Amino acid sequence: MRPLITALGLLLAWEALARATGVPVYILPPPSRVVVVLIERFDLLIEQAAWTAAEMVLGLVLGLFLGAMLAIVFAASAGWRRWALPLVIISQAIPVIAIAPLLVLWLGYGMASKVAMAALVIFFPVVSALYDGLRRTDPGWLDLAQTMDASPRAVLLQIRLPAALPAFASGARIAAAVAPIGAVIGEWVGASAGLGFLMTQSLARGQTPLAFAALVLLCLLGLALYHATDWAARRLVPWQSLQGE
Amino acid sequence: MTFVVASPSLSVRDARIVFGDRVVARDLTLDFPGGRTTCLLGRSGVGKTSLLRWLAGLLPGVTRAQPLAYMAQRDLLLPWLDILDNVLLGYRLRGDAATLEAARPRARALLTDVGLGDRMCDRPEALSAGMRQRAALARTLCEDRPVILMDEPFAHLDAVTRLDLQDLSARLLLARTVVLVTHDPLEALRLGHQVRVLSGSPFSVGSAIEPAGSVPRDPADPVLLGLQARLIAELRSAA
């Protein structure tokens, strides 16, 4: 309740400031104007939002899947770990934003380049969270499994992987928070649809209220994605729910 | 009535046990009689756990002599499995569906034996520490191996729960070859057909003490309490 009142207070202050100073609408539109545009252009906005949402979700799913696969490969094979892990870490020195134009060049202006971008920004947090979780299995469990003559494969699938799920869940939450960044940056660099595309287009035409309306939807999308992921992450590790809540 | 095939004895000959950089034992020769419980008593850090891990083949470069079941100080129940599946963990890990199915009734019977018959479908988090350790005991027995190694299995429990679990274990471990490590003289005297004190560094093993009577022995027995006083004195002087 409190954050809602704070937000409302800030919005009122913004409204008052915009009206009192008489700042042109194309510089800083008052919130009331943004709401009006939100309603008037709702069809356009929702269409673009659906496009961006699809990019985010696909990017998130792809990034989580690839990241999880690589983390499992690293945990299972010392060879892969030695040859590829340093490379994955070094690759993080490249700012992902700098690759965006290349992705657009290779994958085109359509959805693929944005999905790739979103997947790319979440890839590392996912690999690192899950791999870390896979390495930190309780040694007591590993000893127990050894006295039970478990194969390395059974230990990985039945002990190390489930034990690492809480770590994967935190990785997925971080991923859900940053996936929208990837999608929107992709749209800024070059796109034909999406909320990020709509923002650049409307700003260029002086339709600042429309850009703000797109921003509001982006914010809502990000929140929805995060909470949906958080919900799924909790279902993934039900045995932790008693402590966490 | 369970029919138990004679459990084999366990022998250690001229063993050298190294834990990290430290030589825990050198030229160690030790026999654990078959079908009996041997309690190894010693102060913390003397190398009891290292000896047990060595026997279990858990130290680097060591392979164990024969199949055995291992019970640690912590219950080591997997939080994502219910109690029944935890008891069947060994069968699940070995991945043979037929033996897993065959072991299911046994696991249920064991859980009923340890008083958890109505908690089989619960997750470990829903159980008290004593119940969890009982589930761990059931898991250890479910492995159905002739030799059982136990590393201070009741150290984390309160005094009354510990006595209850000692009684339960003594009953269920009957006729198996058990090596139980503890720092509690009373526990060793209650459960051990044979008690041996470990002392020094590298440690040496004292001669076998064989208290009279069957296990689990009554903790109020004056003879037992006299022996306990003697063991405590021995442990203190060894420091």
Q: Is pLDDT above 60 for B1?
A: no
Residue A241's pLDDT band, with cuts at 50, 70 and 90, is low
Q: What is the pLDDT of residue B23?
A: 87
Residues of A in contact with B64 (CB under 8 A): 147
Q: Are B232 and B77 in contact (CB under 8 A)?
A: no
Of A145, A162, A237, the CB nearest to B93: A145
Decide if pLDDT at B3 tops 60.
no
Q: Where are the alpha helices (DSSP H) in A108-207?
A: 111-135, 139-147, 152-155, 161-189, 195-204
User: Using a CB-CB distance cutoff of 8 angstroms, which residues of chain B are in contact with residue A151?
Assistant: 93, 95
Which range (A56-65, A104-113, B20-29, B89-98) has the least confidence? B20-29
pLDDT score at A40: 94
Residue B59, both tokens: 């130290």
| B80 vs A149, A151, A162: nearest CB | A162
Is residue A70 predicted with pLDDT exceeding 50? yes
**pLDDT at A215 exceeding the cut of 90:** yes
Model ipTM value: 0.89
Predicted pLDDT at A134: 95
**How far is residue A217's CA from residue B199's CA, in Å, rounded to a whole number?**
72
Give B227's Cβ-side CA count (13 Å radius).
Answer: 25
Of B64, B76, B79, the CB nearest to A239: B79
Using the Cβ of B193 and the Cβ atoms of chain A, whether some distance falls under 8 Å is answered with no
Q: Which of B126, B144, B162 is the last residue of a domain?
A: B144
* Residue whose pair of structure tokens reads 């590392």 in the numeric block: A124
Domain ranges of chain A: 69-86+97-237
Q: Which long-range contacts (CB under 8 A, 24 or more apart) does B73-76 make?
A: B73/B151, B73/B152, B73/B153, B73/B155, B73/B156, B74/A140, B74/B156, B75/B124, B75/B129, B75/B132, B75/B133, B75/B135, B75/B136, B76/A138, B76/A140, B76/A141, B76/A144, B76/B136
Structural domains counted in chain B: 2
pTM here is: 0.85
Residues B138 and B51 in one domain: no
C-beta atoms surrounding B29 within 10 Å? 10
pLDDT digits (tens, 9 = 90+) for A9-63: 999 999 999 989 988 988 899 999 999 999 999 999 999 999 999 999 999 999 9
By C-alpha distance, the chain B residue nearest A236 is: B80
- How confident is the model at residue B119, as a pLDDT? 94
Residue B73: inside a domain, yes or no?
no
Report, in angstroms and rounded to the nearest whole number, the Rg of chain B calculated over CA atoms: 18
Of B138, B141, B145, B192, which Cα lies nearest the Cα of B7? B145
Scanning every residue of chain A, which has its alpha carbon at the shortest distance from the alpha carbon of B149?
A: A147
Q: Which of residues 73-102 of B touch A (CB under 8 A)?
A: 74, 76, 78-80, 89-90, 92-95
Chain A contact for B132 (CB, 8 A cutoff): no
Given an 8 Å threshold on Cβ–Cβ distance, is A150 in contact with B125?
no
Mutate which of A138, A143, A147, A236 to disrupt the B interface (most B C-beta within 10 Å)? A147
Name the interface residues of A facing B (CB cutoff 8 Å).
138, 140-141, 143-151, 154-155, 158-159, 162-163, 165, 237-240, 242
Where residue B96 falls (left for φ over 0; alpha for ψ -120 to 50; beta otherwise) is beta
* Same-domain status, B57 and B121: no
Q: Is B65's Cβ below 8 Å from some Cβ in A?
A: no
Q: Is residue B203 part of a domain?
A: yes
- B96 and B140, same structural domain? yes
Same domain, residue pair B150 and B236: yes
Q: Are residues B59 and B155 in the same domain?
A: yes
For A178-214, the pLDDT digits (tens) are 999 889 999 988 888 999 999 999 999 999 999 999 9
SS3 at position B217: coil
A/B interface, count of CB pairs below 8 Å: 60
Pick the more confident residue, B63 or B58.
Answer: B58
Out of B64, B76, B95, whose CB is closest to A140?
Answer: B76
Indicate if the pLDDT at residue A244 is higher than 50: no
Nearest CA in chain A to B68: A147
DSSP label at residue B115 = T
Q: Does residue B231 sit in the same domain as residue B178?
A: yes
CA distance B90 to chain A (A): 5
Which CATH architecture does the domain made up of A69-86+97-237 adopt?
Orthogonal Bundle (1.10)
CB within 8 Å: A148 and B93: yes
Rounded CA-CA distance A118/A63 in Å is 7
In a domain, B35, yes or no: yes
Q: Looking at the structure, tell me whether residues B109 and B175 fall in a common domain.
A: no
Place of tokens 């022996």: B227
Could you report how far apart the first and last alpha carbons of chain A are, in Å?
Answer: 19
**Residues B63 and B155 occupy one common structural domain:** yes
Q: Which of B58, B89, B95 sits opposite A146 (nearest CB)?
A: B58
pLDDT of residue B239: 60
For B182, residues 6+ apart whose C-beta sits below 8 A from its C-beta are B39, B40, B41, B48, B152, B155, B188
Select the residue of A146, A150, A240 nearest B94 (Cβ to Cβ).
Answer: A150
pLDDT surpasses 60 at B5 = no
Question: What is the pLDDT at residue B2?
Answer: 45
Indicate if B62 and B93 belong to the same structural domain. Answer: no
Q: Which of B89, B117, B144 is the last residue of a domain?
A: B144
Contact B47, B198 (CB under 8 A): yes
pLDDT at B24: 85
Reduced to 3 states (helix: H, G, I; strand: E, B; else coil), residue B61 is coil
What does the pLDDT look like over B137-152, one tens digit per residue? Answer: 999 999 989 899 999 9
Backbone angles phi, psi at A18, to 5 degrees: -60, -40
Q: Which residues lie below 8 Å from residue A218, measured CB to CB, with a gap of 6+?
A: A49, A52, A180, A184, A195, A196
Q: How many CA atoms lie within 13 A of B137 on its CB side?
A: 30
Asked if residue B175 and residue B124 are part of one domain, the reply reads: no
How close is the nearest chain A Cα to the Cα of B211, in Å? 31
Place of tokens 């699940």: B92
Q: Please name the residue of chain B whose CA is at the shortest distance from the CA of residue A237.
A: B80
CB distance A148–B143 less than 8 Å?
Answer: yes
- The segment with the largest mean pLDDT, out of A142-151, B37-46, B225-234, is A142-151
Mutate to test the interface with B, among A137, A141, A146, A148 (most CBs of B within 10 A): A148
User: Exposure pattern of A190-225 as b/e (b: 16+ CB <10 Å)?
Assistant: bbebbbbbbbbebeeeebbbbbbbbbbbbeebbeeb
Q: How confident is the model at residue A245 (pLDDT cuts 50, 70, 90)?
A: very low
Query: Is residue B110, in this structure, part of any structural domain at all?
Result: yes
User: Strand B204-205 and strand B194-199: pairing?
Assistant: antiparallel
Residue span of the structural domain in which B161 resides: 1-67+146-239
Interval A138-161 mean pLDDT: 95
Residue (of B90, B194, B91, B156) closest to A146 by Cα position: B90
Nearest to B56 among A147, A162, A165 (CB): A147
Tell if the CB–CB gap between A143 and B70 is shorter than 8 Å.
yes
- Mean pLDDT over residues B114-123, rounded? 93
Residues B185-212: what's their mean pLDDT? 89
CB B120 within 8 A of CB B172: no
- pLDDT at B207 (0 to 100): 83
Please say whether the beta carbons of B143 and B87 come within 8 A: no
B77: nearest CA partner in chain A: A141
